[in-house]
Structure formats: structure tokens, C-alpha cells
Structure 1
């Protein structure tokens, strides 16, 4: 008689949580907060009840997945890889392209995160993680401007906020034109302004 096939060992709780979060993230991009536990279980290849063995509720799984999906680490690594020896204009253009691409990719998810984590059922822990991510992103952009701080009329911190504000407005605002965004144009706007200085007025 053939020996029965051995069962595949069950995943440890942390591994199961990670697998469920990984399965949930693409569904959130597709369905938003309307994603069902049935869809998640199907995508993860597990029984629906397995979800509640490692998460207290669907809401907890969704919150964890949203926070994971919005992890800034890939963008932070890309910003850190920008050559600090390159001209400031080149660095700013590259940083703007990276930040804008992040915002466009996650625009829907960021909107859903605000409803879920800040509005509907406030989650202080998730809010703190989201705030930390924003601070990390701004700090990474500050480092792009920092080598040329002495040449700027504003601090690198303010320059970073201006870059983030413009990228955010172009991704989420009512006058957004995402398909026309140019990192070079934003670098020119931030570094040169829009005024043609034929002669400087005297004070």
C-alpha cells in the first residue's frame, strides 16, 4: 500500500500574516475597501477561516495591508541612490519623478487609507506609522537639496515641502494633469521660478 503523502507543514503565524497581507495588497488596488475576505482567501489559497486565525478582523488585515502597501522604503532607496555629485537641477528632477510616480501609483490607495485609518475608525498606531513614512520621505528629499543649501533662498526643508506639495497636487488635486508631469519642469519651477528677470528692481 502506497504511503500517504505527507501534509505540507502549516505556516507559522507571522508567515501566514505576511502571506495574507501580500495577497490582499493587489486586491486593495483593484477593489479598494470593498475587497471581501472570500476574495482574499482565494488569492492566498487558504480557507476563509484561516484569515481569522491570525487577524482579529477583516479591518485589521486591511489596515495592515494598506500600511504595508504604502511602505516608502522602495522610494527612499531610490532617492538615496541619486548621485549627490550630479547638478542640483538633475537631482531635483530625478527626485520629483520618483515622488510623483509613487503618488500616482498609490493615489487610490492613499485615498482609501485616509478614509479607513483617519476618518471611519481612527487607528492611532496606523496613523503613527503613516506619519513616520511621510517624515521619512520628506527627510530623504531634504538630503537631495542639502548639498546645495548655501545656494538656495529657502531651507532644504522648505524646498522639500514645496516639491512634495506640487507632486501631491498634481497627483490628487482638482487641477491635476498626471500625464503631463515633468520632473525637469518642476525642477525649473523650484529653482528658477517663472519670472523672466530682465532687470532686478531696486529696493
Structure 2
């Protein structure tokens, strides 16, 4: 088996284990799941953490979410566009919460993988840029620039998925967008059908 094929097989076998066991997954478990000898891992990777970083980079790749955000119908109202985007981002964040926690520990806090940290930062930037583009047609009715709105949007979604007080089942896309656009005050004069 070619090195790239072994690498792909190891990444594929490791992802479910990383989701289940976190960073405590052993190379023995990985080898068993991949159907290879434990030494095979070290023929491809210098250490377990290098494999885990590759798994995280593969699993947290934003392309499918970016494509889905870009496919949202620009003819819909801002509120509807953002609610659809919030559902996509919430799904991404809640599905990958454990992986994001592992990435923070392994990539950002350790400082041992600067290329991976830069790639993850770039992924967040791409996500924020796609959301800013989604908001751009309605920039004139917002108190903040589209990029700032996109940043707040991600903050709301991230807090809902990762924060100790988040509740992805209660704060769905529409509720998050309502909080972002309307705040918490009841304003009877707001027409929710417009923006």
C-alpha cells in the first residue's frame, strides 16, 4: 500500500476513535481499527499527535459548510438567509464540539503545530467571510459592518455549541438570528418579515 493510501486509511480509522476517546486514544486502538500493525503508524507518522492533527484537519475542513452557505438563496430575506446559515453552522459546531476541544488542546495550547493552527485560523476566516458575503446585500440596514455581524454570528453559534450555557436544542437558527438582529427587548413595531 502506498504511503498516501496508508495515511488516508489511518485518518479514516482514527476519526471515530478520536470522537469516542478524545486525545486519549491509543496507537494500539488506532492500529486495530485500521487493521494494521502498530508499527505501521510510525512508518507514516513521526508520533501519535501528528496523526491526530491530520485527522483533525481533515475532519474540520470547512469546505462542505462553505459550499452550503454559498448555496443559500440570495433572494431570501436577511433573517431567513441567516437562519438557514445558523442551522448549518450549529450543525457543524455541535457535530464537531469534541474535535474542536481536542484541536484547542493539541494545536493551539501546545503551540507544537503552527501550520495546523494557521490552517484552522484560515478556516475560521473563510467561514466568517462567507457569512459576511451572505449579509452584505443588507449592510445598509445593519448597525455593524457585515464582517462584524458575521463575527457576532459565529460567537452566538459557538457559545451555543461549546459554551457551558449553550443549548443547541433550544436556540435553533431562527432564535439565534432573532437574538442577533433584534436583541432581547420586545419591540412591537419590528416587522419580522422584512430584514
Residue matched to 2:172 = 182
The match for 1:90 among 80, 101, 105 is 80
CA distance in 2, matches of 1:198, 1:186: 19
Residue matched to 1:54 = 44
Q: Which moved more, 1:119-128 or 1:37-46?
A: 119-128
How far does the alpha carbon of each residue in 1:61-87 deviate from its partner, in whole angstroms, 9 at most, with x for none?
111111111111111111111111111
Residue matched to 1:145 = 135
Give the RMSD, CA atoms, in angstroms: 1.5
1:115-134 equivalences in 2 (<5 Å): 115-120=105-110, 122-134=112-124
Name the count of aligned residue pairs: 189
CA distance in 2, matches of 1:86, 1:121: 43
- Where does the alignment leave 5 or more consecutive residues of structure 2 unmatched? 190-195
How far does the alpha carbon of each residue in 1:76-119 deviate from its partner, in whole angstroms, 9 at most, with x for none?
11111111111111100001111111111111111111111122
Deviation at 1:167, TM superposition (A): 0.7
Residue matched to 2:89 = 99
CA distance in 2, matches of 1:53, 1:44: 14
Deviation at 1:122, TM superposition (A): 2.5
Deviation at 1:192, TM superposition (A): 2.5
CA distance in 2, matches of 1:124, 1:193: 38
Residue matched to 1:167 = 157
The TM-score with structure 2 as length reference comes to 0.91
The TM-score with structure 1 as length reference comes to 0.88
- Where does the alignment leave 5 or more consecutive residues of structure 1 unmatched? 1-10
Bigger Rg, structure 1 or 2: 1
CA distance in 2, matches of 1:176, 1:100: 11
